[in-house]
Amino acid sequence: MTYRTSRRGLLFGTAAVGAGALLAGCTSNDSGDDEPAANDQPAADDKPGKAVTIGFAGPQADHGWLNAINDNAKNRAKKYSDVTLEITEGSNDTAQQIGQIETLINKKVDVLVILPADGKALTQVGLKAMRAGIPVVNLDRIFNTPQAYRCWIGGDNYGMGLNAGHYIGQKLKGKSSAKVIELAGLDNLELTKQRTQGFDDALKNYPNVRKVARQAAEFTVESGQAKMAQLLQAQSSFDALWNHDDDQGVGALRAIDQAGRDDFLMVGGAGALSAFQAIKQDNGVLKATVLYPPTMAASAIDLARALGQSKGIGGLAEFEIPASLTLYSAVVDKTNVDQYMSTGFK
């Protein structure tokens, strides 16, 4: 999940009610499949068009969010009787993923959807596809040059931090002096830096709120538990915690339970089903999570189909698909969790 270098994408609304629904308005048809659409909205009543073969290549699904990316792409493609999806096994080895994409190019698929394990390393294969006349929908982790893709769609890491910070700031505005801590993801990733920057920028609006500690975990349950235990030991009291990732948040919550702490509120990140369920139950510290919607993969399939059929997007005046679509990082708490429950990933 790497941050888009420039965030000047179209703010496309939340995944559940924005990107998928708007795209579906122009590009979708119902194939009769009883399986719910990725955003739990029925496909729009649109006649099947030109047959389109979409190649999909992503990294290895070794994380709940990445597995949800694959599921969203597969389920969305099933909605279209005019779409054939060629999907690779996925790999975190850049050479192997390049080979998988080159196989799709050689098969002469109509459109490619690529979530690169490493955007920089896979830029050349994106360029190769574009030069072969195959439009590329670059999903989330961005290539080094816009020449390597026709359209980019992804999440807003800076916006995640910004919205998490504002949510916490508003919750603590009644306190004369409040302390917050941060459980970040991998510090060598640009996305982690952007999430922290957004969080810090938001907190500048709340002079009564001060960040007193930060630990970087690794987006895993185990690292979340270990790093959270360290934070709890070092900080005898604080008012709020922002955790960058709901997967590592499972471990963080274990550490919190083991320490017997319930004297603060917690905000998560990404939108896991377990987080939504905990928020709905409202009997623990987790009160909200900030979305990084895996439904972007379903919208990427919509975009790829539209490109293959030379269509635009319903609801927009332009005849062409935009070059960039940035999804909105909505805050989900007990007031709106039911709306998003169907989008939660395991």
Q: What are phi and psi of 289, to 5 degrees?
A: -140, 150
Alpha helix ranges (H) inside 204-220:
none
Dump the DSSP string for 72-111: HHHHHHHT-TTEEEEE----S-HHHHHHHHHHHHHTT-SE
Helix (H, G, I), strand (E, B) or coil at 278: helix
Question: Which pLDDT belongs to residue 46?
Answer: 62
**Same fold flag, 10-155+293-330 and 157-291:** yes
Q: What is the pLDDT of residue 314?
A: 83
pLDDT by position in tens, the chain (length 346): 433 333 223 333 333 333 444 454 444 333 333 333 344 443 443 679 999 999 999 988 888 899 999 999 999 999 999 999 999 999 989 999 999 999 999 999 999 999 999 999 999 999 999 999 999 999 999 999 999 999 999 999 999 999 999 999 999 999 999 999 999 999 988 889 999 999 999 999 999 999 999 999 999 999 999 999 999 999 999 999 999 999 999 999 999 999 999 999 999 999 999 999 999 999 999 999 999 999 999 999 999 999 999 998 888 888 899 999 999 999 999 999 999 999 999 8
CATH of 157-291, one of 3.30.360.10, 3.40.50.11540, 3.40.50.2300, 3.30.2130.10: 3.40.50.2300
Q: How far apart are CA 33 and CA 48, in angstroms?
A: 14
Return the pLDDT at 15: 36
DSSP assignment of 9-33: SEE---IIIIIHHHHHHHH----S-
Cα–Cα dist 176/245, whole Å:
29
Contact criterion met (CB below 8 Å) for 3 and 290: no
Q: So what's the pLDDT on residue 111? A: 98
How big is the CA angle at 227 (ends 224 and 232), to the nearest 5 degrees? 115
At 90, phi and psi to the nearest 5? 90, 145
Q: Alpha helices of the chain — where are they, by DSSP H?
A: 20-27, 64-78, 94-106, 123-131, 157-171, 190-203, 221-234, 246-259, 273-281, 296-308, 337-340
Q: Of 3.30.43.10, 3.10.129.10, 2.60.120.960, 3.40.50.2300, which CATH number belongs to 10-155+293-330? A: 3.40.50.2300
The pLDDT value recorded for residue 189 is 86
pTM above 0.85, yes or no: no
Structural contact between residues 207 and 23, judged by C-beta atoms closer than 8 angstroms: no
Helix (H, G, I), strand (E, B) or coil at 136: strand
* Domain residue ranges of the chain, discontinuous segments joined by +: 10-155+293-330, 157-291
Could you give the CA distance from residue 36 to residue 12 in angstroms, rounded to a whole number?
21
pLDDT at 188: 87
Spatial separation of the C-alpha atoms in residues 331 and 167, rounded to whole Å: 8
